[in-house]
Amino acid sequence: MTQDYGDKFKDQSNLQSEVISIIKEQYDKVQEIYRIKSKNLMEAIEKSGKKLNKVDQRRSLELSGYFEDLKLLEKKVGFYENYISKLKKLVEQDAKRMLKRLREENDRLAEGQENEHGIPGIQPNQMYGGIP
C-alpha cells in the first residue's frame, strides 16, 4: 500500500511537472507574441513620430515662407503708396500749371492779343457782332 501511494504520488508529481512545463511553454509563446506586438507598436510609434516631425518641419517652413511673402508684400505696398503719393503731387502740380497757363492765355485773349497758336483774341465789345 505504501508502494501504491508512492506510485500514485510519483504519477501525480510527473503529471504536475508536465502541466507546469506546458504552462511554461504557453507562457513563453504568449510572452513572445506580446514581445513581437510590443516591438511592432514601438516601430509604429517611432514612424509616427518621424512623420509628425517631418510634417511639423514642413509646416514651420511654410509659415516662414508665408511670413517672408507678407514682408515682401508690405514693402511693395509701401513702395506703391509712396509712388502713388508722388504721382498725385505731380498731377496736382501739372493741373496748377495748366490752370495758370489757361488763365494767362484767357487774359491775353481777353486783351485782344494773339494766343500761342497765332489766333487773335476777341475783344469783349466785339462779341455778338459788336453789341455791348
On whether the pTM is more than 0.85, the answer is no
58-114 residue pLDDT tens: 999 999 999 999 999 999 999 999 999 999 999 999 999 998 988 888 887 777 655
| Residue pair 112/120 in contact by the 8 Å Cβ criterion | yes
Q: What is the DSSP string of 42-100?
A: HHHHHHHHHHHHHHHHHHHHHHHHHHHHHHHHHHHHHHHHHHHHHHHHHHHHHHHHHHH
Residue-wise burial string across 76-85, b where 16 or more C-beta atoms lie within 10 A, e elsewhere: eeeeeeeeee
Would you list the domain boundaries of the chain?
2-109
